Chains A and B, each alone.
Chain A
Amino acid sequence: MTVNIGQAKQTQTPAARSTSVFDRLIGGEFQQLPVFLSLVLIWIVFEILNNSFLTSRNLSNLVLQMAEYGLLGVGETLILLLGEIDLSIAAVSAIGGAILAVLAGNGVNPYVAIIAGALSGTVLGLFQGFWVTVLRVPSFIVTLAGSLAFLGLLFVLIGQEGTVPIMNNTINAIAGNYLPDWLSWVLVAVALLLMVWTAVRDRAKRHQLGLPPKSAASTWTKLILSAAVMIGATVLLNAYQGVPIAGLVLIVFVVLLAWICQSTGFGRHIYAVGGNAEAARRAGINVKGVRIMVFTLAGTMAAIGGIVGASRLGAASTASGGSDLLMDSIAAAVIGGTSLFGGYGSVWNALLGALVIGSIENGMALLNAPTSTKYLVEGAILLLAVTFDTFTRMRRKQLGR
C-alpha cells in the first residue's frame, strides 16, 4: 500500500524466503501490521473492562467520534509525507465549521454553506502553502502563526456568544443520519469488485512491463482481509442503525487520497519531494507546485473535517479547534507509521491511527475514567505504538526491503 519510489522490484533473495511470517508481512504488503495489532489489543482490553465496548452501538459511536480527526489526520499525513508540518489544521477545521454554521444560520442554502465551508479551508491552505513555498518561511512557523490568527478569525465569525447552533436538517444529517442497509451493501460490493479489478489489472501491467508478479498469496490475503473487514464492519453497523454518513465521508476521502498518492504522477511526486526535494527538483518535478498543492489539500481536508465535526455537535463553537483536536490528528497520522521526516507513509495509516486514538477516547469515556488516566494512557500508547513501528521499520531495513 505504501509507495516507495525505486522499490518496485521485489527482492527474491534466499534470506528473504526463509524469514518468519511476521517479517514477510511487515516487509511486504502489510506494513500497517504493528498498528493493526495495537488496535486489536486495545479493543480486547476495553472489551474485558466493559462489555459494552464491542457492541454495534458503541462501534457506531466510535465511527462518528473519530470521523473528524480521521479527516484531519489524512490531510496531515500528506503534509508529513513532504517532511513538513501543519499546526493549523485544528483551527482551519474550526473555521470551516463556523463558516458553515454562520451561513446556514443566515438562511443560505445548506449545500452552498457546505461548499463554502470546505473552500474556506482550501483558501487558508493555499495561503499557507504559498507562504511556506514561495516566501520560504518554515511551515512550523507559518502554520503556528496561522493557528493563532485563524482562532482570532473564529472569534470574529462566531461572535460573543461563543457558539452558533446549526438548525438545518440537511447539515445535521451528515453526522446524524445513516445509510440504508441495502445501499451500504451495494457500496461494499462495488468496492470489492473495484479491488479485484485493480489487482487483476496490476498483475497484467506488471507482466506487460516485464516485472515479476506479486505473490498470489499476498494479493489474496490482502483482498480477503479487506473483504472481511468491510463486510464485518457493515454487518455490525447495520445491526445498529446503519453505516453513519460521516463514516462514509471519511472512507471516501481516505480511498480518494490513497488513490491519488499511489496511482497518480502528483502522488508519486509528493513522495519524491518528501524523500529528497533536491533530487526531485533535478528530476524535473515542480517541487513548489507540489508543496502548494499539498498544503491546499490539507487545508481542504481540515475544513471538511470541521464540517463533519460541526454537524455532529449541531453547533460551531469557539472551544473547537483547540489543542486536543490538533494533537489527536497529528497523533493519528504518526501512530499509523507515517514518518515525520517525509517520504514515507500512507493515507491508510492515518485511518488506522485515527481508529486507535478514537478507540482510546471512546473506551476511556465508556469506563468513566478520570482525565488524568485518560491523558496518561493516551501518551503511553502514542509512544509505544510509534516505538513498535520504529522497530519494525528497522527490521524491514535489515531485511533489505
Chain B
Amino acid sequence: MAKKTWKKSATWMAAAAVVTGIVAGCGTSSTNSQGSTSTGAASAVNAHPSVKIAFLMPETNTSPRWEYDDRPDFIAAMKKLDPNAQVIYANAQGSEATQLQQVESAITEGAKLLVVAPVNGFAATTIVTEAAKAHVPVISYDRLIQNAKVDYYVSFNNVEVGKLQGEYIAQHTKKGGTVVMLDGAETDPNAKQFAQGAHEVLDPLFKSGKLKLGYEQYTPNWDSQQALTEMQQALTRLHNHVNAVLAANDNLAGAAIQALEQQHIKGIPVTGQDATDAGLHRIYYDGTQSMTVYKPIYEEADAAAQLAYDVITGKKPPASLVNGTVNNGATNVPSVLLQPIVVTKSNIASTVIKDGFTTWARIKNPAEQQ
C-alpha cells in the first residue's frame, strides 16, 4: 500500500513538473509579441508538411476536459482521417487577448482551418475577421462565436441539455411543488443556454401554477462552495419547502445535496450534467441525485475532425453530420448539434460504462485515484 502511494506521489510530481512547464510556456507566449504560441505544434501528427489545422482551446481552470479529452480525441480523429495532417494546438488559459494572438500565429504558421472554442463567445468576433482576411475558415467548437460569419458550429445541443433537465423535473416533481434552480456561471454562454432550455419546459408550468419557482441563482465560476451557500440560503428563505432542485451540472448538484442533507431532506428530484463519477455515485449508490446528462466528448471531437477534413478537402459535409443551424446574431450558422443523453440509475451500464467513459470501480469509489 505504502509503496503504491509512493509511486503515485512520484507520478504526481512528474505531472506537476509538466503542468509547471505548461504554465511557464503560457507565460512566455502571452508576453511575447510575436506570439510563439504554437508550442503545441509538438503534437504535430506527422513530420511531412501537409494540411495544417489549428485546434485552439479556451482554458484549463474550470474544466480539465480541453486538455484531457478534446485535445487527444481531436488529434486521434484527425490522424485517422488523414495521417499526414498537422494539428497546431494551443490553449488560451482564459485570456481573450492570448487567444487572439494564438489565432494570428496559427494563421502565420499556415493553418488552413481553425477549430476554436472561444474564451468569450461574445468577444471573439475579431477571431473570425482575422481568419476571413487570410481566407481561413473557422469552426466554432463547443461554444458559439457570436455576431460573426462563422463557417460551422459543432456542439452538444446545450438548449437540449436544459430541456432534458427541465423535463425530468416536470415529470418527477409533485404537483404544486417548489423548484430551486442553480444555473451555473453567468459568464458562460452555455450556462445561459442550459437555463434557456430548462425555462422553455418549466415556464409554462410555473405560469399555470403546476410548479412554483422558489429560488433561482447563477453561481459565479461554477464554484461549488458558493452554490452550497446559495442552496443553504434558498432552504432558509423557503423554510425548507423545496420539492425539486434543477442543478445545471453534477458539481452544483453535489453542493445542493450537501445542503439538503443538512436539513434531512431526501427523495426529491435533483438533476445534474457531465456524468461525473461523483454524480454517478450519488445516482447509483446514494440515490441522492436523480439524473445526469451525459455528453460523450469524443463524439464532439470526432464531428469537428470530420467537418474540418471535409471543408479542407473541398467536400460538402453530409446532411447527416450538419443537422441544423443556430443563429448567432450575424448569420444562421450551419451546425452539428449532438444529442445529449439522460443517464439515470437504470441506464448507467448501457451508456457511460458501454462507451468506456468510466468504470464501475470508479463510480463505486470516485475518490480513489485509479
Q: Which residues of A contact B (CB under 8 A)?
A: 50, 52, 55, 57-58, 61, 64-65, 68, 101-102, 104-107, 148-149, 151-153, 155-157, 159-167, 176, 309, 312-315, 317-320, 322, 324-325, 361-362, 365-368, 370-371
Contact = CB atoms under 8 A, between A and B. Distances in A.
A164 B229 contact: no
19 contacts: A55-B236, A152-B22, A156-B15, A156-B19, A157-B12, A161-B277, A163-B254, A167-B365, A313-B224, A313-B225, A313-B254, A313-B258, A318-B64, A319-B62, A319-B225, A320-B224, A322-B221, A368-B234, A371-B218
B251 A162 contact: yes
B186 interface: yes
B62 A312 contact: no
A319 B221 contact: yes
Contacts of A151: 61
Interface hub of B221, B225, B232 (most chain A Cβ within 10 A): B225
B226 interface: yes
Interface string B27-71: 000000000000000000000000000000000111111001100
Contacts, number: 145
Interface of B: 1, 5, 12, 15-16, 19-20, 22-23, 60-65, 68-69, 186, 215-218, 220-226, 228-230, 232-234, 236-237, 239, 250-251, 254-255, 258, 262, 276-278, 281, 365-369
A153 B13 CA distance: 9
B278 A156 contact: no
Given A105-B367, A152-B19, A61 B251 contact: no
A313 B228 contact: yes
Main secondary structure of the interface of B (DSSP, over half): helix
B164 to A, nearest CB: 21
Contacts of A365: 217, 229-230, 232-234
Contact of A148 (B23, B68, B367, B368): B23
B61 A371 contact: no
A102 B369 contact: yes
B225 A68 contact: yes
A317 B366 contact: no
A397 B224 CA distance: 44
Main secondary structure of the interface of A (DSSP, over half): helix
Contacts of B19: 152-153, 155-156
For the complex of A and B, the 8 pairs showing the least CB-CB separation, nearest first, are A105-B367, A365-B233, A152-B19, A160-B68, A165-B278, A156-B15, A366-B233, A160-B64
Contacts of B61: 151, 318, 322
B150 to A, nearest CB: 28
Contacts of B230: 365
A102 B60 contact: no
Nearest to A152: B19
A65 B278 contact: no
Contacts of B234: 365, 368
A260 B221 CA distance: 37
Contacts of A57: 236
A153 B18 CA distance: 10
A61 B237 CA distance: 12
A52 B236 contact: yes
B216 A368 contact: yes
B251 A105 contact: no
B254 A165 contact: yes
A381 B234 CA distance: 23
A105 B61 CA distance: 23
Given A162-B251, A165-B367, A324-B221, A155 B232 contact: no
B241 to A, nearest CB: 13
B224 A167 contact: no
A314 B229 contact: no
A337 B246 CA distance: 41
Given A65-B229, A318-B61, A319-B62, A366 B236 contact: yes
B62 A318 contact: yes
Contacts of A64: 232
A314 B258 CA distance: 7
Interface hub of A58, A320, A322, A367 (most chain B Cβ within 10 A): A322
A308 to B, nearest CB: 11
A371 B278 contact: no
B16 A152 contact: yes
A176 B262 contact: yes
Nearest to A314: B258
Nearest to A363: B233
Contacts of B277: 161
A314 B254 contact: yes
A245 to B, nearest CB: 13
Nearest to B19: A152
A124 to B, nearest CB: 12
A242 to B, nearest CB: 13
B261 to A, nearest CB: 8
Contacts of A166: 367
A366 B234 CA distance: 6
B238 to A, nearest CB: 9
Contacts of A165: 254, 278, 281, 366-367
A297 to B, nearest CB: 24
Contacts of A68: 225
